[in-house]
Amino acid sequence: MQIIDLRSDTVTHPSQAMWEAMLNAELGDDVFADDPTVNRLQETAAARFGKEAALLVPSGTMANLVSVLVHCPRGSETILGNKSHTFMYEGGGIAAFGGVHPHTLPNQEDGTLRLEDIKSAIRVEDDHFPRTRLIALENTHNKCSGTPLTPEYIASVSAIARSHGLSLHMDGARIFNAAVALNTDVSVLSEKVDSVSFCMSKGLSAPVGSVICGTKDFICEARRVRKALGGGMRQAGVLAAAGLIALDEMIPQIKRDHDNAKLLAEGLANIPAFKINPSKIKTNIVYFELADTDLTVEEIVNRAEEKGVRFLATGSRQFRVVTHYGVEQGDILKTLDVLGLITKP
């Protein structure tokens, strides 16, 4: 049985063009900075995001860790959302490996942090306090229904950061989803931030890797931290080759992922066992809740799996589905059929 895997957009496999590019990639040793394919990826990414330089890292988690470690000396503080990926899902790395104090603020439903909250969280100089050094945003916001942050909002946060001498980092694991949803360019979303990271292995479907973009000086420091964390890779051009195809060819299909997510959300709204507000779905992430049923989330996930549909239970009454490359409209219709069938009283 063909499984429809909706657990995450990380499950995507390389396209045929990626396999060919990987097979034919021109390689060097990237720790010596002489892998031509990695260099080409980094130059391409920097140009695309309107930044001076870029750095390939093994994962989105390392991209955020490296970025925070460069912006924040030990004992200093970063402001970030209480539902942010960096706070929730990165093993506490910024504290464990960087000695960076996370100062969390409540993420609003749309993934933003309230501007007033940010302003009052910034510390004054006082021996009692850690020094605030960084504000970190997430775009699109994973836990907040995959909502994209607008250029206007980012500019407002940036103005606060500037006026207090702080840096601004954007975890753009799904920044291309944000750009497509807002009908804008990633360079517009990254214009006001000091550093931005994006994943090549989610909606863009490359097998491995994330890229950090920023100033030349920032990336120079990031290279040192990446090496120290064990993230210096040798013939990494095999990964970069797929990444170049990702940037070249995979953006146009993101719109289809969003359309599929919307279709799924609208269908789920018609199944009594579930509760969802489809108007909240702006990109490829769909959270929905248990409603009118005696079944548990585990029972529903297990029954769906038996019928070839795989997705996550993300709480005692909550599920998550993510659409991606390789999921067709027909798969969404089949998913809705299965979910309707297994929850029928």
Ligand X SMILES: *Cc1c(COP(=O)(O)O)cnc(C)c1O
Positions that interact with ligand X (CB under 6 A): 59-61, 64, 85, 138, 142, 171, 173, 199, 210
**Least distance in Å: CB of 96 to ligand X?**
15
Measured from the CB atom, the residue of 212 and 244 that comes closer to ligand X is 212
**Least distance in Å: CB of 43 to ligand X?**
22
Measured from the CB atom, the residue of 9 and 35 that comes closer to ligand X is 9
**Least distance in Å: CB of 273 to ligand X?**
27
Measured from the CB atom, the residue of 111 and 267 that comes closer to ligand X is 111
**Least distance in Å: CB of 115 to ligand X?**
21
Report phi then psi at 199, rounded to 5. -95, 135
Measured from the CB atom, the residue of 25 and 144 that comes closer to ligand X is 144
Measured from the CB atom, the residue of 240 and 339 that comes closer to ligand X is 240
**Least distance in Å: CB of 116 to ligand X?**
24
Distance from CA of residue 237 to its chain's centroid?
22
Residue nearest to ligand X (CB): 60
